[in-house]
C-alpha cells in the first residue's frame, strides 16, 4: 500500500506533499532533517493522508496536489490548516 501525505510546518507556514509506502518512517525522516526541503523546520505535522493500492495511483494524486498547491487542495477538501 502507498500513501500520499501532506505535512504542515507552523514554523515555516509551509506545506510539503509526498508519497511513500510508510508515512511514519517518512515523517521521522522529515523531522530528523534528512530531507533537503523539510530540513529547514522540525515541527512537521501530518495534515492529510490518502491510501492507494499502487504507487502509480499515489503518484497521480501527488502530482495533482503539487500542480494545484497543497493549501488550495486542502481548502477544497475542507482540511485547510494554515
Query: Is the residue at 82 inside a domain?
Result: no
CATH label of the domain that carries residue 63: 3.40.1440.10
What are the φ/ψ torsions at residue 58 (nearest 5 degrees)?
A: -65, -40
| Nearest to 10, CA basis, from 44, 57, 51 | 44
Q: Which domain holds residue 54?
A: 2-77
| Nearest to 11, CA basis, from 39, 44, 46 | 44
For the whole model, what pTM was predicted?
A: 0.90
Per the DSSP assignment, residues forming a β-bridge with 2 are: 52
Query: Is the residue at 42 inside a domain?
Result: yes
Query: Is the residue at 30 inside a domain?
Result: yes
- If one counts the domains in the chain, the total is 1
Q: What is the pLDDT of residues 15-54, one digit of tens each?
A: 999 999 999 999 888 888 777 788 888 899 999 999 999 9
Per the DSSP assignment, residues forming a β-bridge with 7 are: 16, 46
DSSP state of 38: G
In sequence order, the 6+-apart residues with CB closer than 8 A to the CB of 28 are none
Amino acid at each position: 500500500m502507498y500513501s500520499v501525505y501532506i505535512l504542515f510546518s507552523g514554523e515555516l507556514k509551509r506545506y510539503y506533499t509526498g508519497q511513500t509506502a510508510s508515512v511514519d518512517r517518512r515523517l521521522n525522516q522529515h523531522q530528523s532533517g534528512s530531507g533537503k526541503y523539510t530540513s529547514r523546520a522540525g515541527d512537521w505535522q501530518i495534515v492529510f493522508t490518502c491510501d492507494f493500492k499502487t504507487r502509480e495511483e499515489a503518484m497521480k494524486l501527488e502530482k495533482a496536489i503539487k500542480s494545484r498547491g497543497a493549501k488550495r487542495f486542502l481548502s477544497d477538501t475542507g482540511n485547510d490548516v494554515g
